[in-house]
Structure 1
Amino acid sequence: MENKTLITVLGWEDRFISGTEIILNENNIQKIVLISFTDYAEMNIKNKSTFLEKVKDLNIEIEEIELNYSDSIKNWKTFDAYFEKHTRTSDILLNITTMPRETIWA
């Protein structure tokens, strides 16, 4: 089974945790790129804590990309800079379950 990188957006809903657990159980995830929005940080405290604990238990590498939901241009530039450096991964899984449309477009 090939190692995969999961790209996902931190969400405050229960489906973020349950969906992510399914992905982690069904795939050989080696690394997670966690996208979070600083302007929703307070809403995400519980799920972020639960998520990070789960990832720690599974010994999965995690990178976080912090964005500001209301700054589309800066978000696009942040993604552009990140993926310019990190596009050599052989197998990427994109979780769009809790990903805002504008983030998918970027």
Structure 2
Amino acid sequence: MNNILFIYPSWEERAFLGFKTDVEYPKIHTVYIIKKIKSLNIEKTSFYLKKIEEYCVSHNIQARFIDIETNGVVIWNILKKYISELNREDNVFLDITTMSRNIIWASLFFFREAFIYHKPNSYSDTWISKEPETPRLLFKHSGIIELGLPTYLIIITGYDPERTRQVLGYYEPQKVFLVIQTGNQLNNNIKNITLVCM
């Protein structure tokens, strides 16, 4: 199992100082250094890229450079190539300190494909899980919240209508968008009728 770091250094000093902190603990074995072939402040950026490379050599860290362009499709394909080479056992760290948004989102997309979810052979006909606590929306990931404005909810349901009712009762939204599974697998066609008619 290797500890792998992805970084996108800029002309700022914190790009190098942050990198030094990143590799101290846990011990990083390989650093993927994403760099634009052409960029603003190329001289300053090159200075810190050189310092990062020298640090890797002196600390026995493998440095792999990923050259990218400004074309979104090219960036997408290059990141896909490198990220797909990783092993599932590797621990991957993504330093977004000076990383551009399009690279952050593209990287997260491909890392997401490495997530593991083991599906059960079947689902319970009764409740799958109980949520006795107050329903909560994920902080900073639940849209725009402003006092006095009407509440709209987008709910992606499972097969537990009671939990959906609990959320509706607690937040009392003005409008609800209910997203349900389609198709006949897992008796969707029967269970969806129950959900819609709740």
TM-score tier, shorter chain, comes to 0.7 to 0.9
The alpha carbon displacement at 1:87 in A equals: 4.1
| 8 A contact 2:33–2:64 mirrored in 1 | yes
Answering whether residue 27 of structure 2 is matched by residue 54 of structure 1, we say: no
Corresponding residue for 2:45? 44
1:79 aligns with 2:74: no
Superposition TM-score, scaled by structure 2 size: 0.49
C-alpha separation in 2, matches of 1:66 and 1:3: 23
AA aligned to 1:97 is T
In the alignment, the residues of structure 2 paired with residue 89 and residue 6 of structure 1 have an alpha-carbon distance, to the nearest angstrom, of 14
> Residues 36 and 64 of structure 1 are in contact (CA less than 8 Å); yes or no, is this contact kept in structure 2?
yes
As a proportion of its length, which structure holds more strand? Answer: 1
Q: TM-score under structure 1 normalisation?
A: 0.88
Percent identical among aligned pairs is 24
- 1 CA distance for matches of 2:89 and 2:8? 19
Note the 1:8-23 alignment, pairs <5 A. 8-23=7-22
Q: Is the 8 A contact 1:5 1:89 kept in 2?
A: no
SS at match of 1:39: coil
- One-letter amino acid of the structure 2 residue matched with residue 46 of structure 1: F
Aligned pair count? 104
Q: Which amino acid aligns with 2:50?
A: S
Secondary structure at the aligned position of 1:16 is classed as helix
If you compute each CA radius of gyration, which structure gives the higher value, 1 or 2? 2
Equivalent-residue separation in structure 1 for 2:57 and 2:47 (angstroms): 16
**How far apart in 2 are the matches of 1:55 and 1:89?**
22
**Which residues of structure 1 form unaligned runs of 5+?**
none
Structure that is richer in helix per residue? 1
| Residue 86 (structure 1) shift | 2.6
Aligned AA (1:74)? V
| Structure 1 runs, 4 residues or longer, greater than 4 Å off | none
RMSD across aligned positions (CA): 1.6
Counterpart of 1:104 in structure 2: which amino acid?
I
Distance in 2 separating the partners of 1:45 and 1:20 = 15
Contact kept, 8 Å, 2:2 with 2:89, in 1: the verdict is no
